[in-house]
Structure 1
Amino acid sequence: MDSFDKGWFVLQTYSGYENKVKENLLQRAQTYDMLENILRVEIPTQTVQVEKKGEMKEIEENRFPGYVLVEMVMTDDAWFVVRNTPNVTGFVGSHGNRSKPTPLLEEEIRAILASMGQSVQEFSLDVRVGDTVRIIDGAFSGYEGKVSEIDNNKVKMIISMFGNDTVAEVNMSQIAEL
């Protein structure tokens, strides 16, 4: 059975092959018609100063040698294409025995991408405090509630659960306007 969990996953690669893995993965996504499942491939880098021949130079180096980040919808087919990409040795967070990996936490990927000057996908919903919205994904899927706070891509809202008002915190991607 396919799992449709979208998230950022960490691939293990042979050190020094990160760029080749990125190139191969993007090519395979196109070849296997997986562009809607394999969304982004990133290699976290940082600028460092090194001394070469008595001069200080700035160079880009991998922050995590041997690792590549991929944003994907974790379907069986996408998982197969990614894990069988040349020079990919596995997923971080997979417990072996053909188990699917765990995605990075939103805070982790946000911090990594921010350090590279990039961002996690922003959402363009026109939602304000006081609006009523429907939760379309996650544990509270199907509930409607009133937005009480918006912070970045996180939304706190009041939902009625078992006859009591409860505060639910969800990602912007998990709600839809009514």
Structure 2
Amino acid sequence: MSEAKWYVVHTYSGYENKVKANIDKTIENRHLEDQILEVRVPMEDVVEMKNGVQKATQKKMFPGYVLIHMVMNDDTWYVVRNTRGVTGFVGPGSKPVPLTDAEMAPLGIKRENIVVDYEIGDNVQVIAGAWADTVGVVQAINMAKGSLTINVELFGRETPVEISFAEVKKM
């Protein structure tokens, strides 16, 4: 089995999230979890001024495109290519070309395996993002997404929050 790489799929404009949902459903139905590892619609945080009010929103970094981390073979190519809303892979002719590490770096998606020293039940402090300076207990670790689910106290209740590895430090 060859190594999984990131590929770019062109979609109808505005169909990015629908294509992601359709591919995720197909992965589940056909049991391709070991071949199609992740489907992403890269988003970026943007601060807009509307009517004199600042509003933080998320916008698609690449409208009309979806990133897929997959092992390229005839089955996975067929599944992705024949998903409703997909117009094709990015690459010359019909041959998909994987993204290089240099192309993936600005997207914040790293290829190397991340080794974390967190375990379920550890106390961690959030050092960045909306939950900065909050202390929580690790409930789950998601290596594929590079995130932890921690319980934080919100309005007097324990609430689960998903936070990336880069935003926390062990206490």
Structure-1-length-normalised TM-score: 0.60
Identity, in percent, stands at 44
The answer for unaligned runs of 5 or more in structure 1 is 125-178
1:104 matched to which residue of 2? 99
Which structure has the larger Rg? 1
The 3-state SS of whatever aligns with 2:102 is helix
The count of corresponding residues between Structure 1 and Structure 2 is 115
2:110 matched to which residue of 1? 119
Partners of 1:105 and 1:14 lie apart in 2 by 24
1:5 positional shift: 4.4
Give the alignment's Cα RMSD to 1 decimal: 1.7
1:54 positional shift: 2.2
1:47 positional shift: 0.8
2:162 matched to which residue of 1? none
1:30 aligns with 2:21: no
The 3-state SS of whatever aligns with 2:77 is helix
| Structure 1 residues 23-172: aligned runs within 5 Å | 23-93=21-91, 95-96=92-93, 99-112=94-107, 114=108, 118-122=109-113
The answer for unaligned runs of 5 or more in structure 2 is 116-171
Contact 1:5 1:75 in 2 (8 A): no
Structure-2-length-normalised TM-score: 0.62
The 3-state SS of whatever aligns with 2:9 is strand
